[in-house]
Amino acid sequence: MPRKSAQNNEESENELVPFPNTEQKQGEVEDLTRMLAAVLEYLSDDSNEEIDVGYLFDSTEGLREWWTQYQENNRKKIEDEITASLGELTLEDLNKIRDQVKGKKG
């Protein structure tokens, strides 16, 4: 079999391979940067005596939607943590949890 020349190897190593959805990811990064800047501006404003999360959600475009999506994405992790910790609980604790779950359903 013929061997590749060193020059061909170098060319293929230096070739950039674009990742899919790069523009979409860049847009997400820009949105997150904008939201983070808005939150940090609000937090660093000395005239604010209390942190009003509702105000942050209302005044920062996309923040509430991002937070809702983040919580949904984090839901599976929370469920797994709860499942893993069930084996360490007493029967009494498990019964309390069951009653709480039944109360939510009813």
pLDDT digit string, tens, across residues 26-52: 889 999 999 999 999 999 999 999 999
Q: What is the pLDDT of residue 90?
A: 93
Q: How far is the C-alpha of 13 from the C-alpha of 54, rounded, in Å? A: 50
Cα distance from N-terminal residue to C-terminal residue, the chain: 73
Q: How many CB atoms lie within 10 A of CB 2?
A: 4
DSSP-assigned letter for residue 10: H
Q: What tokens appear for 52 in the block?
A: 């009003």
Q: How far is the C-alpha of 105 from the C-alpha of 65, rounded, in Å? A: 27
Q: What is the pLDDT of residue 18?
A: 62
Determine phi and psi for 26, rounding to 5 degrees: -60, -40
Q: How far is the C-alpha of 60 from the C-alpha of 39, rounded, in Å? A: 8
Q: What is the pLDDT of residue 5?
A: 55
Q: What is the pLDDT of residue 11?
A: 57
Q: What is the pTM for the complete model shown?
A: 0.55
**Positions of the chain with pLDDT under 50:** none
Q: What is the pLDDT of residue 80?
A: 92
The answer to whether the beta carbons of residues 65 and 96 sit under 8 Å apart is no
